[in-house]
Structure 1
């Protein structure tokens, strides 16, 4: 599904690169982006710091047209291209001012989409957001949108998908019991890797197994 914000940003970048858009749109009052880089500004060419600012800004815009990014991800991308810390801070601060970078919105969207599309639980979502450099408080606020019922429903769907086409032995013999235990362990392990609480995962798996064995 297309993201309207990404589509709008892509259109903005195309206009910016074609010269249809003012070059100072994303600059603010940064001291690192001198007037020399603007049409009509003083001087015949951009200073090295101004040129670096312009290149860093273009890099960020391109990164953002692919998919939303956290500030940490963009910082790392700019560091890899060896931009100065001064320029990185200036560019990203300006992007935050115009809401092209919004870690809170990024975290909320990440939690919602990864939970709905992958069935991930809180632990996995928290780990992923930590890896993207999102602040602890921002992560916990984003996770607040998930309820216990939401996580249980996602876990049940994962269980049902895994059990589809699986024959669960119902006998009382040793072999049947071991096979049921093996299936249970696999399902609980799968839910654990998806970030679901181990205790809740075991209970939900046991319920699903009992229903299918009835």
Structure 2
């Protein structure tokens, strides 16, 4: 038998997977596609989901490589879309978006790049809209109550104290309210 005629030994890149291995790959591929069809996921989320459902690490590695090569999993694209959606839809701050992406297993550099697309002006505008909505919903209440509630809304969305106090103060001044001299600058 010539060398070219010898069957693969199962170790090389041209090795044909066994029927059991091919079945496992197909099951993992099908699950990955179902998971991605349900909602976008980061590479870490998809990998964890496949492993959690009992697929072997080698099978998961092959499926992850295939999904990445096909463009089905791209953490940079996911992160940019996540930041845009959550910032404009929910008014989340850069700090809150950073935390969310980190918990989804996105690499630190990818997180920084995605969040950096939000400028200071955009973040302040989102905070201002949240504060304005909170303050308008609390008209008729005591000033301290309104301030506390507006600051709470901003804090829950991840905005820092300095920006929050400044925006709430400016919004109250725009309403024509006199501020307490003890109100932080």
Which TM class, normalised by the smaller chain length? Answer: 0.7 to 0.9
Contact 1:34 1:47 in 2 (8 A): no
Paired residue for 1:206, among 169, 174, 185? 169
RMSD: 1.9
Give the whole-Å Cα distance in 2 for the aligned partners of 1:154 and 1:204: 10
TM-score (norm 2): 0.83
Aligned with 1:59 (options 21, 31, 40): 31
Q: 2-side partners of 1:54 and 1:33: how far apart?
A: 18
The alignment covers a number of residue pairs equal to 166
Aligned residues of 1:70 and 1:101 also touching (Cα < 8 A):
yes
1:181 CA drift (Å): 2.4
4+ residue segments displaced more than 4 Å: 31-36
> Would the alpha carbon gap of residues 190 and 63 (structure 1) be closer, same or farther in structure 2, given more than 3 Å must change?
same
Aligned 8 A contact 1:32 1:50 in 2? no
Conserved 8 A contact 1:33-1:50: no
2:120 aligned to which of 148, 154, 164: 148
Deviation at 1:34, TM superposition (A): 6.5
Question: Is the CA contact 1:32–1:53 (under 8 Å) kept in the aligned structure 2?
Answer: no
SS in 2 for 1:65: helix
Q: How does 1:31-42 map to 2 (within 5 A)?
A: 35=16
CA distance in 2 between counterparts of 1:136 and 1:165 reads 38
Match of 2:22 in 1: 50
Aligned to 2:57: 85
Alignment of 1:25-174 (within 5 A): 35=16, 47-167=19-139
1:165 CA displacement: 3.8
CA distance in 2, matches of 1:192, 1:99: 36
Please give the per-residue CA displacement for 1:94-137, whole angstroms capped at 9, x wherever unaligned: 11111110001000110011101001101110111011000111
Report how far residue 212 of structure 1 moved.
1.6
Whether contact under 8 Å (1:75, 1:88) holds in the other structure is yes
Q: 1: CA distance between counterparts of 2:140 and 2:172? A: 8
| Alignment partner of 1:193 is 2:160 | no
Distance 1:189 1:163 in 2: 11
Unpaired stretches in structure 2, ≥5 consecutive residues: 1-11, 178-185
Q: Distance in 1 between matches of 2:44 and 2:150?
A: 34
